[in-house]
Structure formats: structure tokens, C-alpha cells
Amino acid sequence: MGRIARFKENGLIVRYRKDFEFRTLVNTLVSSAVTLFIAVYHLAVAIFVASYASIWNGTLAGYYFALVLARITVLFSHGVGLHRREDAEQTALRNARNLLFCGALLVPLAFAFSGVLVLIVVQGFHTNYMGHLIFAAALYAFLKVTFAIKNMVKAGRRENLTVRALRYVNIADALVSVVSLQAAMLAAFSVAEEAFDPNLFNAVTGGIVGVLILALGSYMIIRGYRGLHDLKDREAR
């Protein structure tokens, strides 16, 4: 048996490929590390690069740190649940609380994103990519959105609210990445004589994304609250 075959038959690899919930937890841990790196990068630029654009980087850093907080909190909650060997009812209660928490975090983040949008549209702030890195960033953002949407649809078919919470946070992360990348690409490739206004284009796209994040956070709060309410009704009976 070759190395590749043995690798594919590894217990953790098999579980990762076939267990959507386990794959969600592993991917969330990896994406948290990546998002944390991006947040630290923007924070470092905001602190050490003395320019007007540091406000833009500081705003993005705060947004990404909040997303990392949401993911790590949910992962920690899941780990505590496993350690305590919860029964089905306790797990359902924890899952509903996780969804409610993430939704409650996304709602203010949607308003915070409005501040980012103002910086993009009014001040013309954007992330600068060196050389051809902007094309790599574009490919990354495209793949990020594609997989985030695909996994969000899969999560919506499952009853595990923790999985839903993590996948919904991923889509909020991906959508903001698209707006940030769009602003950078328009600034890099648009020509001053062109008829359309890049700032207006950014405002429209950013406005749509802000509304989507707000709607998603509101749905998560409602769904999480309903889950808690249903569990309390079962206990009352």
C-alpha cells in the first residue's frame, strides 16, 4: 500500500472527508488562524504606518478581530461540551446559545462595516497590494465566497446550530473580503477619464453586503432564541 493510500485511510482524514460537522470545526480553526494573521497585519499597519489610510486598516483590524472572537468562543464552547460529556438536551442548549451569540455579534458588526464603507466611499481608502498579489487576492476571495456559500447551504439543512453559526460567520467574513478587494481593484485599474464612479460602485456593493450581514445576524438571533424557547417548553412539560 502506497503512502497516499495509507494517508487517505487515516482515521482523522476519513472523518474529515465524510463528517461535515467535524470538517466545519477543523476548517474554522484554520480560518481563525488566517483571519487572526490578517487582523494583526492591518493593526500593525494602522499603528506603525503614519498615514491617513491607517484609519482604514484599524477599522478592518477591529472587524477581523471580532470574527476571530466569535469563532474561538464557539470552538471553546464546543470543547467544553465534549469535556463535560453533555447529554443531547445540554448539547442542543449550547448550540442554540452559540448561534444566538454569533448573531448578536454580527448585528453590531454590520453597523461597524458601515464605518468601513464610509471610509471607502468618502475618503477613498483601500488595501494596497504589491505587484501581482492583487490577482492572488482576487482568486482567494473568489474561492472564499464560493465555498462559504456552498457550506452555508449545507449547514442550513442540518439541525446542529453550532455548525450553522460557524458557517454563517464564514459568509460574513467572505462578503467583507469581496468589498475590500473590489475597492482595491477599482483603485488599481480604473482610469480617471472613465464615466463610472468607483466610489459609487463601492457604495452599492458595500451597502448590499452590509444589509446581508445585518439580515443574517438578525436571522441567527431569532433562530437561536427560538431554539432556546423550544428547549424551555420541553423542560416545562
**Residues 203-212: tens digit of each pLDDT:** 788 888 888 9
Q: Which three cell numbers stand for residue 50?
A: 503614519
Give the torsion sign (CA, 207, 209, 36, 139): negative
Predicted local confidence at residue 124, as pLDDT: 62
Closest CA to 71 of 154, 141, 157, 171: 171
Q: How many CB atoms lie within 10 A of CB 172?
A: 28
Q: Rounded distance, CA 38 to CA 75, Å?
A: 20
What SS3 state is found at 142?
Answer: helix
Give me the pLDDT at residue 113, please. Answer: 75
Q: Which residue has the cell 448550540?
A: 95
Burial of 48 (0-12, 13-18, 19+ CB in 10 A): exposed
Q: What is the pTM of this model?
A: 0.80
Tell me what pLDDT residue 181 has: 78
* Spatial distance between the Cα atoms of 167 and 165, rounded to a whole number of angstroms: 6
DSSP code, position 45: H
198 and 109 Cβ atoms separated by less than 8 Å? no
What would the 3-class secondary structure string for 165-234 be?
Answer: HHHHHHHHHHHHHHHHHHHHHHHHHCCCCCCCCHHHHHHHHHHHHHHHHHHHHHHHHHHHHHHHHHHHHH
In the chain, what are the domain boundaries?
Answer: 24-236
Q: What is the pLDDT of residues 119-158, one digit of tens each?
A: 666 766 656 665 566 677 777 778 888 888 888 888 777 7
Q: How confident is the model at residue 85 (pLDDT cuts 50, 70, 90)?
A: confident
